[in-house]
Amino acid sequence: MTQADYRDMMKQAGKYLDYQKDLFGEELFLENPDIFQGNQHSHSFGTLNELKEAIQDCQKCPLSETRTHLVFGCGNEHANLILIGEAPGRDEDLQGEPFVGRAGQLLDKILAAIGFQRKEIYIGNILKCRPPNNRDPLPEEIALCMPHLMKQIDIIQPKIILALGRISAQTLLKTSASLGQLRSETLDFKGIPLMVTYHPAALLRNPHWKQPVWEDVQRLRNLYDEIVGDKPKWQPTKK
C-alpha cells in the first residue's frame, strides 16, 4: 500500500466515523453490536419515522449533491418480508419512493402473482440516493449508506429478506459470487433467511429471465408459508 493509498483510506474512515457520530452520537455504530458487551447505551430508533427524520438531510455522501429526494423506503413497518434493491432510479429520485417506475410496476405484478400487495411488505434499497446515470454504487457509498438499511432491518425485524439483483445480494451477503450461484438457495443474513432473484429492471432488458424469477418467487412464497404462515392457502398459476 502506498502512502497515498493509506491517506485516502484514512480519509474515508474519518468521513465514515464523523457520519456515524452525526447520526448516532458518540457511540460507534456496528453491524453486529453484540460483539461488545455493554452496548445498552447505543442510540436506538424506535420507529422508521424517527430514523427517516434523522437521515432525511444526509449530506455525508457526494450523492446528496445530485439527488432530488432521499429515497428512504416504504411499506409496512411490521412486515414479515423485506425486499431490498440496489439504488433509486430516475423515477424514484423524482418521487422519493422506491420502485415506482416501470420496474416497480413489474415488481407489483410479480408480488401479486404470489399473493402479496405492496402495503403488506417493506421495500428498500442498499443506497438511499440515486447514483448519476444509474451507475453501480461505489464501495464508499455503500459503506456510508448501509448503516441506514441495517437500522431499518433492526426496527422491522423481518422473517425473510428477498435481495433483488446482483449488487443487493453481494452487498448483503458480503460475497463476490454471481447471482446465478446465489439463486435457488435459501441463504442467511444475520440469522434471517435470505433469497435472491433478478432485479425487475433486468427483466425489462432481458425478458427471458422472467421464468427464472417466477421460479424464485414461488420458492419465496413457499418459504413464507413455512416460516410465517399468516396468508390464505396459495396455489401457483402457470406463467
Digitized pLDDT (tens) for each residue of the chain, 239 residues in all: 454 554 565 566 565 556 555 554 544 444 444 333 333 334 568 899 999 999 999 998 899 999 999 999 999 999 999 999 999 999 999 999 999 999 999 999 999 999 999 999 999 999 999 999 999 999 999 999 999 999 999 999 999 999 999 999 999 999 999 999 999 899 999 999 999 999 999 999 999 999 999 999 999 999 999 999 999 988 887 65
* 217, 107 contact by CB (below 8 A): no
**Rg (alpha carbons) of the chain, rounded to whole number:** 18
Nearest to 166 by CA among 175, 156, 155: 175
Q: Tell which phi-psi region holds residue 54, choosing left (phi > 0), alpha (psi between -120 and 50) or beta.
A: alpha
| 182 exposure class (CB count in 10 Å sphere: 0-12, 13-18, 19+) | buried
Q: For cell 446465478, name the residue.
A: 180
**18 Cβ contact partners less than 8 Å away, ≥ 6 residues apart:** 60
pTM of the shown model: 0.81
* 86, 165 contact by CB (below 8 A): yes
Ordered structural domains, the chain, with CATH: 46-227 (3.40.470.10)
| The amino acid at 189 | F
Q: Can you list the alpha helix ranges (DSSP code H) found in the chain? A: 3-24, 48-55, 90-95, 102-113, 139-156, 166-173, 179-182, 200-205, 210-227
